[in-house]
Structure 1
Amino acid sequence: MVLDAYTYVFALGTCFALLEAFNNGANDVANAWATSVSSRSVTYRQAMVLCIVFELTGALAVGARTAATIKNGIIPSDAFGTNAGVQLLAFACASAGAATWVMWCTRNSAHVSSTYSLVSSIAGVGVAAVGASKVQWGWNNGQGLGAIFAGLGAAPFISGCFGAIIFMLIKVTVHMRKNPVPWAVWTSPAFFLIAGTICTLSVVYKGSPRLGLASKPAWYIVSVTLGVGFGLFFLAALFFVPFVHARVVKKDDTLKWWMIFYGPLLFKRPPPPDAENRVAKVPNYAVVQEAHGDDSDSSAPVKQDAITEVKADPAAEPSGDAEKGGNNQFEYTQEQYKQLLKDAEERHHANLRKSRGPLGWAMRHLHVNQLGAGSIHETHNLITLVKRVPAQIIVALLYGTSFDIHTAQVGIHNSPEGRRMERVYSYAPKYSNEVEHLYSYVQVITACTASFAHGANDVGNAVGVWAGMYAAWSTGKPSASKAEVPLWQLGITAAVICIGFITYGYNIMKVMGNKLTYHSPSRGSSMEMGAAITILIFSQYSLPVSTSMCITGATVGVGLCNGHIKAVNWKRVGLLFFSWVMTVPIAGLIGGCLMALAVNAPHW
């Protein structure tokens, strides 16, 4: 009977642990990749592929094999004594509390940290299970709640400072020059050096018990990091500089991607006869574009003074009496604004129904088989529900892969948010696509490394509670303070995180990035490097920190480098900070209440 109860609780806890991992991908990982997608350095689908590759590689190849911090930093393992059932139930309730809160936030496009949610839920469970006196409220060597609150305030600020310093270096070195393109070409190896060094440190410093990186001496860390950094520097100088020089300076659009291996021989390649009259063939990195698509040419007309091509039907707009200030701005009622959003969504769905493949079929099937009149239990509605099930499964899996992140980020024309973003964008200088193109390569490196580091280290947060439950269930004893995490659990957790990002990550990405400030590859790479440096510093001193909070702070810091405080959407920043703060008590209350109900429920 006891074993059956253990199995039931473990199965239920496993479901919530995997749901928490799903939310981790849909929230934290989506926020990490939002910078690259918002900057148009990669498309959303490219980000999905890279996320799968580097998250899984980081988790399986160099992933942490212990989860002591997440299991024992808040509630010491000896607090449970010899009662494995209470520990098993506690971790199940903690996962349930964190998963419930993060899922609600993700559903409502509110960004929170899944790590902070889980830690807060564990604290609430600890109060209900073993009493408030056993919970580590202080510093506890950087693992207690005191350290968590310290990181909540300090990490975004420090990350913003580092991001601003890096972007100002790019701005002074390149953007402020009369002819910035050659400066961007010839200085690009230096920024590859910076990115390579920081990214290598993010792996070596945070360490991996399996490879023993955390225990290496200082000379080893310096040698590896500088070796990789200067290796990228020389490879960029040898292959990257000649290639982009021919493409951007000589404006040779006949180059193929594999010609990068020609190296210095490309300097001798003659430019096209009409090079002076050509425009370099590079992507259009403007946030708002007339020409839709991620592969737009830089010569395509760009509309910088408008927010979106999604406009209301003129017949539905209020009369001229509603205009304010003569700026052709209309004040919509709440009903009209909701109708705008509904119309925009319907146009998107109409485009999906025209597409080929499984998603197009599923959208057409759902459009044809809609519920009829009457309640849900009417016979014709029950039959329709059964018919819709296969299509709904396909839509749930594939809808996010075709979501238009950029249109969703810039808002609805003439809506309050649309006008606010129009003001924010107006304070951000728009740099040439040729210059931004060079930094898109740097940003891909920083984004991939961030995903690798997340898989190698932060997956431990998502899998730690599950590993504790598995140890208590399989042995019948409370898990040890440094219980080993099985490889299969790491693999499953990393896979579920990737699924969460692919299927539901768009819900967070559409409110991040360009809704905070104007993005571009040079800005985005600075943000990601600033966040990486901050994570390195906090990790070195064993202080808990959220990757999402760091990238948000760096985004604000780089946005302020535009030269005006109004270049940042402070309303959105305030909402983000409010959601961070509220995560601690709400997730803690959910987890604690679930544990209190479970422990004090009638039993026999």
Structure 2
Amino acid sequence: MPYLHQYDYLMGIGTIFAMLDAYNNGANDVANAWATSVSSRSISYRMAMVCALVFELLGALTVGARTADTIKNGIIPPTAFRGNAGVQMLAFTCALAGASSWVMWCTRHSAHVSSTYSLISAVAGVGIATAGARNVQWGWNNGKGLGAIFAGLGMAPICSAGFGAITFLLIKLVVHLRRNPVPWAVWTSPFFFLIAGTVCSLSIVYKGSPNLGLDKKPPSFIVAVSLGTGFGLALLSALFFVPWLHAKVIKKDQTLKAWQVIMGPLLWSRPYATEAESAVAIVPNYAVVQHKDYVPNTEESTQTGDDSSDEKIAPVNDLIAPHKTYQELEAEARERLHAKLRQGTGPLGWAMRYLHANPIGDGACYETHNMKLYAKRLPAMCVVALLYGSHYDIHVAQAGVAGTPEGNRMERVYAHAKMYPNEVEHTYSFIQLITACTASFAHGANDIGNAVAPWAVIYSAWSTGNPAASKLPVATWQIAVLALVLVFGFVTYGYKIMTVMGSKLTYHSPSRGTSMELGAAITILIFSQYKLPVSTSMCITGATVGVGLCNGTFKAVNWQRVGLLFLSWIVTIPIAGLLAGLPMAAILAAPRFV
């Protein structure tokens, strides 16, 4: 029976919750993928948004449907619905509702749980409510059962920690441990471009695009294309990037512009500045700042070396505020950000000024004067809701916590991380752009399948009237729609997670961030290749901890925050399962009237 029109309402509700789940996925997991790059100042938040849009869509559209089959059919077999497509639609609608509600609550409170495991737990919960525990695939089930999926809860962080640590130890051995690391960073940069380019190409070629049939190519083809891309990128970097970087950080040419990278070999003959010996390279200052007087500087900083920040930044201990709580200092930092936004000339500046000048009055929200104010404030509130996230400055938000327990804890963690010269870190800020895009592509390839699978089941059951239709391929238009919603979630609400992930686990810098992102990306790609949904949150967390341990001490990692993360991952399983399973059981057990 084509098209179950009696369930049009259920199709609409399922679509809404599918959009909400994708939105929360973007606000949570995509933010995790880009938090390291933005926090280490390798890329601006707005540039991260553009790159996320491009690479999340690429990953989703080329290889994103692979993990969808696991969630669609690997946990609850279609036969468990006994031919009732309406029950199948209800089951996956409840799963989306339970998972999205839990992730939304956690994101609101800056707790970055796994949206992947939230959805998987929710599907398991509705499976128990619908067909009983015996019909849920608890075992391995050829890599599609809950046993295989939850194995990633332990394997993914460990694997990503290993890959991240190996990458950073390689950078330390080749560059950081040298007596004069700046020339080593310049001359070895093509090698790390080679690694990043090869991994990025493997993300596309080795996994293969179903539309292009790349996954059917022989191994020799995959190796040739991947290495060819990597060596091609390394050659381009040697011809154009190395001369430009040499002039910037070794010749210390203070007149060099970013666009002059296209001059390539011609920059070798560019003369040294007359004061080159006493001049400093104009590169950003990548030091993490906690003091309350921090004001972001859009101009490039001329501070260099390990101790360069000591001249202009007072020690954290001298800036403590012992009589203020952490919440009060957070509110002050947020107000500094809002004051900055109110100075803008665009729509957001107008909206922030209008809301600031027209606060809600005394009394409850239903008071007449407040209801009138809400009506007047509504247009400005909509503008803020759409644009606030894209203008959020996580560096301002993270400043001002010195003297609080959280600030003191981060001070202790940062004290065990060696600060490398800004010229060296500047080199890896460009490589990190590639690794961040690779991580974003990997996320789109893996997590879009998790988001689209329940919606695809609901749509196929509604359009065909047959539960077995869930085995049909996921439509490309569905993947594209949810990929756009996913990026929109990152743009508008991703800052909530980025403020936590980018500062509270360990010290971040471009060279460290490159290693973290590369380790997480490799792990996600490997797991996705075997059709195992894996959490981006878990991968980037594991890689962050692995790189943090490379500082040589356990004290370089905030184990309290890591413990809270692990606890949140564990409690996600029963909570998301109950939030989805209980409504499903209640609806199925409700009285029926003829």
Q: Please, what TM-score do these two structures have when normalized by structure 1?
A: 0.92
Query: Would the alpha carbon gap of residues 295 and 520 (structure 1) be closer, same or farther in structure 2, given more than 3 Å must change?
Result: farther
- In structure 2, relative to structure 1, the CA distance for the partners of 1:523 and 1:377 (3 Å cut) is same
Query: What is the aligned partner in structure 1 of residue 482 from structure 2?
Result: 493
1:293 partner amino acid: N
Q: Give 1:372 deviation, angstroms.
A: 1.9
Counterpart code for 1:595? M
The superposition leaves residues 246-271 of structure 1 with CA deviations (integer Å, 9 ceiling, x where unpaired) of: 11111112223332222222212221
Change (3 A) 1:542 1:54: closer
Deviation at 1:411? 5.8
Closer/same/farther in 2, CA of residues 589 and 206 from structure 1, 3 Å limit: farther
SS at match of 2:500: coil
The RMSD of aligned alpha carbons is 2.1
- Distance, in Å, in 1 between the alignment partners of 2:319 and 2:351 is 25
d(CA) in 1 for partners of 2:12, 2:583: 16
Instruction: Measure, in 2, the Cα distance between the counterparts of 1:355 and 1:559.
Output: 38
Change (3 A) 1:268 1:501: same
The CA deviation at 1:460 is 1.7
Residue 306 (structure 2) pairs with residue 302 (structure 1): no
5 Å matches for 1:444-483?
Answer: 444-483=433-472
CA distance in 2, matches of 1:399, 1:142: 42
Q: Distance in 2 between matches of 1:579 and 1:205?
A: 33
1:406 correspondence with 2:407:
no
Classify the secondary structure of the residue corresponding to 1:23.
Answer: helix
Greater displacement, 547-556 / 527-536: 527-536
> Does the Cα contact within 8 Å between 1:67 and 1:482 map onto a contact in 2?
no
Q: 2: distance between equivalents of 1:532 and 1:365?
A: 43
Q: Is the 8 A contact 1:311 1:413 kept in 2?
A: yes
Hey, what does 1:87 align to over in structure 2?
Answer: 88
Shift of 1:374: 2.8
1:499 aligned partner, one-letter code: F
SS of match in other structure, 2:586: helix
Amino acid of the residue matched to residue 463 of structure 1? V
2-side partners of 1:211 and 1:379: how far apart? 61
- Residue 215 of structure 1 and its aligned partner are, at CA, apart by 2.6
Contact 1:307 1:410 in 2 (8 A): no
Residue 159 (structure 1) aligned with residue 160 (structure 2): yes
Contact 1:66/1:484 (CA < 8 Å) preserved in 2? no
Contact 2:253 2:281 in 1 (8 A): yes
SS in 1 for 2:388: helix
How far residue 143 of structure 1 moved from its aligned partner, in angstroms, is 1.5
**Amino acid corresponding to residue 518 of structure 1 in structure 2:** Y
Name the structure 1 match of 2:514. 525
Task: Name the structure 2 match of 1:324.
Answer: none
The answer to whether the 8 Å contact 1:25/1:505 transfers is yes
Task: Provide, for residues 193-224 of structure 1, a one-character-per-residue CA deviation record: whole Å limited to 9, x for no partner.
Answer: 11111122222333332222333221121111
Q: Would the alpha carbon gap of residues 344 and 38 (structure 1) be closer, same or farther in structure 2, given more than 3 Å must change?
A: closer
Amino acid at match of 1:254: T
Q: What corresponds to 1:588 in structure 2?
A: 577
> Partners of 2:315 and 2:454 in 1: how far apart?
48
In the alignment, which residue of structure 1 is the partner of 2:38?
Answer: 37
Structure 2 length normalisation: TM-score? 0.94
**Is residue 492 of structure 2 the alignment partner of residue 506 of structure 1?**
no
Name 2:297's counterpart in structure 1: 293
Structure 1 residues 569 and 112 mapped into 2: Cα distance closer, same or farther (>3 Å)?
same
TM-superposed deviation, 1:437 = 0.7
Q: 1:433 aligns with which of 405, 409, 422?
A: 422
Q: Which amino acid aligns with 2:243?
A: P
Moved more, 400-409 or 76-85: 400-409
Q: CA–CA distance in 2 between the matches of 1:291 and 1:377?
A: 39
Please identify, of 152-161 and 201-210, the stretch whose mean Cα deviation from structure 2 is larger.
201-210
Gaps of 5+ in 1: 319-331
| Correspondence 1:18 to 2:7 | no
Task: For residue 393 of structure 1, report the CA deviation from its aligned partner.
Answer: 0.8
Once residues 469 and 16 of structure 2 are traced to their aligned partners in structure 1, the CA distance between those partners, rounded to angstroms, is 22
CA 1:456–1:151 in 2, change beyond 3 Å: closer, same or farther? closer
Contact 2:253 2:272 in 1 (8 A): yes
Structure 1 distance, partners of 2:573, 2:297, is 40
- C-alpha deviation, 1:517, in angstroms: 0.5
Task: Please name the residue that 1:142 is paired with.
Answer: 143
Residue pairs, 1:258-297, within 5 angstroms:
258-288=259-289, 292-297=296-301
What secondary structure does 1:515 align onto? coil
**Could you list the per-position Cα deviations for residues 5-32 of structure 1 after superposition, in whole angstroms to 9, with x for gaps in the alignment?**
4111111111111000000000000001
Cα pair distance change 1:547/1:207, threshold 3 Å: farther
Give the whole-Å Cα distance in 1 for the aligned partners of 2:278 and 2:80: 75
% identity of equivalent residues? 65
> Does 2:564 correspond to 1:560?
no
User: For 1:56 and 1:306, how far apart are their aligned partners in 2?
Assistant: 43
- Specify the SS of the correspondent of 2:455: helix
Cα offset, 1:3, TM superposition: 4.2
Deviations 1:113-148 (A, max 9, x none): 111111110000000011111100001111111112
- 2:592 counterpart letter in structure 1: H
Conservation of the 8 A alpha-carbon contact between 2:527 and 2:534:
yes
Is the contact made by 2:70 and 2:532 (CA closer than 8 Å) also made in structure 1? no
Q: Quick check: 1:308–1:412 contact (8 Å CA) kept in 2?
A: no
Question: How has the CA–CA distance of structure 1 residues 224 and 517 changed in structure 2, closer, same or farther, with 3 Å as cutoff?
Answer: same
Find the counterpart in structure 2 of residue 185 from structure 1: 186
1:427 counterpart letter in structure 2: H
Q: CA 1:443–1:567 in 2, change beyond 3 Å: closer, same or farther?
A: same
Q: Distance in 2 between matches of 1:496 and 1:268?
A: 49
Describe the superposition over 1:39-66 as per-residue Cα deviations: whole angstroms up to 9, x where unpaired: 1100111111211122223334554378
- Deviation of 1:535 after TM superposition, in Å, equals 2.4
- The match for 1:327 is none
Structure 1 Cα separation of the partners of residues 334 and 68 of structure 2: 42
Report if the CA contact (8 A) 1:242-1:266 is conserved: yes
Q: 1:157 Cα shift?
A: 1.2
Which letter does structure 1 place at the counterpart of 2:130?
A: A
Q: Which amino acid aligns with 1:414?
A: G
Q: Matched residue of 1:453: which SS?
A: helix
Deviations 1:518-552 (A, max 9, x none): 11110000111111222233334443322221111
Determine the structure 2 residue equivalent to 1:221.
222
Counterparts of 2:29 and 2:125, CA distance in 1: 22
Listed as ranges, the gaps of 5+ residues in structure 2 are: none
Change (3 A) 1:337 1:535: closer
For the residues of structure 2 that align with 1:543 and 1:415, how far apart are their CA atoms? 41
Report how far residue 378 of structure 1 moved.
2.1
Q: Is 1:365–1:391's contact at 8 Å kept on the other side of the alignment?
A: yes
Partner deviation per Cα, 1:230-250 (whole Å, 9 max, x = no partner)? 111111111111111111111
State the one-letter code of the partner of 2:534. V
Quick one: structure 1 residues 38 and 375, their matched pair in 2 at CA, closer, same or farther if it must change by over 3 Å?
A: closer
> For the Cα contact (< 8 Å) 2:317–2:403, is it kept in 1?
no
- Whether 2:563 is the aligned partner of 1:574: answer yes
Task: State whether residues 112 and 580 of structure 1, in contact with CA within 8 Å, keep that contact through their aligned partners in structure 2.
Answer: yes
Deviation at 1:347, TM superposition (A): 2.8
Match of 2:532 among 529, 536, 543: 543
Q: Please say which of residues 199-208 and 438-447 is displaced more in the overlay.
A: 199-208
Residue 387 (1) aligns with residue 376 (2): yes
Match of 1:326 in 2: none
Aligned length: 583
Is the Cα contact below 8 Å between 1:10 and 1:469 reproduced in 2?
A: yes
Matched AA of 1:195 = A
Deviations 1:345-396, CA, capped at 9 Å, x for gaps = 2232222222221111111221222222233222211111111111111111
Q: Deviations over 1:128-174 (max 9, x none)?
A: 01111110000111111111221101111121112111111111111
For 2:377 and 2:295, how far apart are their aligned partners in 1? 35
Q: Secondary structure at the match of 2:467?
A: coil
